[in-house]
Amino acid sequence: MLLANTQQIRLADAIQIEEYQYPGILLMEKAGTLVVERVCEDYDIHQPFLCLIGPGNNGGDAWVIARELHLKGYQVLGLCSHSRDRYKGDAQIMFQVAEKVGMKWQEFDAETVNYWIANQAKPPILIDGLLGTGVKQEVRGVIKDMLTFFSRKALPTIAIDLPSGLNADSGRIQNEVLPAEKTYTFQLPKVCHQVTPASLACGEVVVLDIGIFPQVVERLGIKREILDKDWFRENFQKRKSDSHKGSMGHVLLIGGSKAMGGALLLSALGAKHSGVGLSTCVSIDINRQLVLSQIPEAMFAGVGGDEDLEPTHLEKILPFLEKKKAVCIGPGMGNVKATADLLHLLLPHIKIPLVLDAGALSALAVYPELWDLLPEHTVLTPHPGEMRRLMPGEDVIYQRLEVAEKLASEKECIVVLKGQGTIIAGAEKTYVNTTGNAGMASGGTGDVLTGIIGSFLAQGYEAEKAATLACYLHGAAGDFVAKQDHENGLLASSLAKSIGPTILSLLKN
């Protein structure tokens, strides 16, 4: 599913209304009536509703919802943020229609609202139609007063398009917001529905098709997409019946230190369980028993050393690049200077798809000259802390999409910015992942992801697709484990071992 920004949504409305001569008020009517259909499925006739109605088009949608709920026999009060003369255009028309069918409304007054709420048989549901996608700055005046007043009431809330006060194009929460249990948005989801912390205020997001023509959507130039099961199934390649280990690729995994040998093991587990034909781990000798005792299907190449991989190990590493289809570098590498020195010597020899993670990313952040040595379409897998070091001064929390896209564009690489709603930014498109859970906030899960990406690269997927498929599968495997056990007990090794069953479940009809 495509992910739109405010400019694109406004352009869609303008094209449909101006070029196709489609009355905007019909879009408003469709939006409101679709919300009412869903609301009536969830609540019986005894549930009272309090509709918060702003003066813009979002308020126009709220008028339709309030009117239709009233006509269906629900107890509804329309609570206006402004006087009648502030409602213009289609919103004013919907105001007049609602009034003519006998719907009750009033301007906001705290004392009157408290009295109305107290006289209901049960707490009312708020329909939040104060502000729409146009908010860019701090909210002031009566709208701010209403948001403050109702945030203290903690009433169940349904948001129209987005919770009032959110910036549709950002993950930032810059105003007081009424957290919604459910958000009904129209035609396409917006950035705030997917990027934290704003997305946390949206509750369950339901996208309703209000009839924007497909030809209009195609003209918007949207390059952001939300991953879902259908996308995975369309792009995941099933094995051919005559496949053999040689045809399924060979991935090289370089990493591990005395303190963090498990990271390399977890990457190898991720690679093997996601289908690579062969895998070879290169590390210091002390990690041999650890890796081979847990995953005998892997091969291990020890290069000596006591603590970390170092530039002196180059000559022993280079032969293992031969006949490999992809290489992953970084899991478990702890000495930044030694890692950077090794990368300076090793990277010029790498002509195959490359994934950099963990220690390799730290080296890249400290020694920026390494950027010039990366092969085309290198995949980087930073968590937010690593991203801050790679992109100092950038807002990697609230502008996750933009920062990932900026790095991908500037360095001509694939950026996998991990976290809730992992971002995969490439040259052509940006994807937002929808799988995964809080239990994956556990050491080692990122190492598994590195192995899955390397596995898909070795199997022949191009870099952007390999990273995107891997992220969706990785999160889905985490969800699989959480359902079997509990988020609190989710282990990275259990996640890796659940990849096969997860693929099976994703491909089922």
Q: Over the stretch 153-174, which tens digit does the pLDDT of each residue have?
A: 999 999 999 999 999 998 888 8
In tens, the pLDDT along 191-213 reads 999 998 899 999 999 999 999 99
Would you state the pLDDT for residue 397?
87
CA of 476: how far to CAs of 207, 240, 456, 495, in Å? 22, 24, 16, 9
Specify which of 43-47, 194-198, 239-243 reaches the highest per-range mean pLDDT: 43-47
Q: Say whether both 279 and 141 belong to one domain.
A: no
What's the whole-number mean pLDDT along residues 167-195?
A: 93
CA of 129: how far to CAs of 66, 78, 86, 457, 467, in Å? 10, 10, 15, 46, 38
Q: Say whether both 254 and 211 belong to one domain.
A: no
Q: Say whether both 179 and 289 belong to one domain.
A: no
What's the one-letter identity of residue 85?
A: D
Query: Helix 261-273 crosses helix 445-458 at what angle (to 10 degrees)?
Result: 50
Host domain of residue 44: 6-222
Whether omega before 353 lies within 30 degrees of 0, making that bond cis, reads no
Q: Is 69 buried (19+), middle (13-18) or exposed (0-12) by CB count in 10 A? A: buried
Question: For the chain, what is the mean pLDDT?
Answer: 95
Which region among 318-322, 360-364, 426-430 has the lowest average model confidence (pLDDT)? 426-430
Would you state the pLDDT for residue 405?
96
Identify the DSSP state of 292.
H
What's the whole-number mean pLDDT along residues 45-67?
A: 96
Q: Is residue 1 part of a domain?
A: no
* Sequential DSSP letters for 128-158: EES--TT--S---HHHHHHHHHHHHHT--EE
Query: Helix 359-366 crosses helix 336-346 at what angle (to 10 degrees)?
Result: 90
| Rounded (to 5) percent helix, strand, coil in the chain | 50, 15, 40
Q: Percentage of residues in the chain with pLDDT exceeding 90?
A: 92
- In which element (H, E) is residue 410 found? helix 400-411
Would you state the pLDDT for residue 47?
97
Q: Residue 412 CB: number of other CB atoms within 10 A?
A: 13
Q: Say whether both 268 and 412 belong to one domain.
A: yes
Q: Say whether both 396 and 277 belong to one domain.
A: yes
Residue 435 pLDDT level (bands cut at 50, 70, 90):
very high
Would you state the pLDDT for residue 176?
87
Q: Which of 196, 222, 201, 197 is nearest to 151 (CA)?
A: 201
Entry pTM: 0.93
Is the pLDDT confidence value at 509 over 80?
A: no
In tens, the pLDDT along 293-309 reads 999 999 999 999 889 99
Q: Which of 493, 471, 255, 252 is nearest to 361 (CA)?
A: 255
Q: Where are the beta strands (DSSP E) in 211-302?
A: 224-226, 250-254, 278-283, 299-302
Q: Residue 109 CB: number of other CB atoms within 10 A?
A: 11
Q: Give dist(CA 52, CA 126) in Å, integer.
A: 7
Residue 398 pLDDT level (bands cut at 50, 70, 90):
confident
Q: Residue 374 CB: number of other CB atoms within 10 A?
A: 18
CB 455 within 8 A of CB 275: yes
Residue 138 pLDDT level (bands cut at 50, 70, 90):
confident
Q: Is residue 349 part of a domain?
A: yes
What's the whole-number mean pLDDT along residues 311-338?
A: 96
Find the CATH number of the domain harbouring 267: 3.40.1190.20
Would you state the pLDDT for residue 445?
97
CA of 452: how far to CAs of 279, 422, 474, 495, in Å? 12, 15, 8, 11
Q: Say whether both 155 and 262 belong to one domain.
A: no
Q: Percentage of residues in the chain with pLDDT exceeding 70?
A: 100
Q: Say whether both 215 and 298 belong to one domain.
A: no
Q: Residues with Cβ < 8 Å from 242, sequence gap 6 or more?
A: none
Find the CATH number of the domain harbouring 53: 3.40.50.10260
Query: Helix 141-153 crosses helix 110-118 at what angle (to 10 degrees)?
Result: 30
CB 385 within 8 A of CB 160: no
Q: Say whether both 296 and 206 belong to one domain.
A: no
* Sequential DSSP letters for 1-60: -B-B-HHHHHHHHHIIIIIS---HHHHHHHHHHHHHHHHHHHS-TT--EEEEE-SSHHHH
Residue 501 pLDDT level (bands cut at 50, 70, 90):
very high
Q: Say whether both 144 and 255 belong to one domain.
A: no
Would you state the pLDDT for residue 373?
98
**Please, which residues bridge with residue 417 across strands?**
423
Q: Is residue 141 part of a domain?
A: yes
Q: Say whether both 180 and 54 belong to one domain.
A: yes
Q: Where is the domain boundary, 187, 222, 257? A: 222
Which region among 129-143, 296-310, 381-395 has the lowest average model confidence (pLDDT)? 129-143
Q: Residues with Cβ < 8 Å from 38, sequence gap 6 or more?
A: 184, 206, 208
Would you state the pLDDT for residue 428?
85
- In which element (H, E) is residue 340 found? helix 336-346
The 3-state DSSP class for residue 291 equals helix
Number of domains making up the chain: 2
What's the whole-number mean pLDDT along residues 369-383?
A: 97
Q: Say whether both 254 and 181 belong to one domain.
A: no
What's the one-letter identity of residue 495?
A: L
Is the pLDDT confidence value at 492 over 80?
A: yes
Would you state the pLDDT for residue 412?
96
Q: Give dist(CA 37, CA 32) in Å, integer.
A: 9
Q: Say whether both 307 and 437 belong to one domain.
A: yes
Q: Which of 436, 421, 444 is nearest to 225 (CA)?
A: 421
| Helix, strand counts (H, E) of the chain | 19, 17
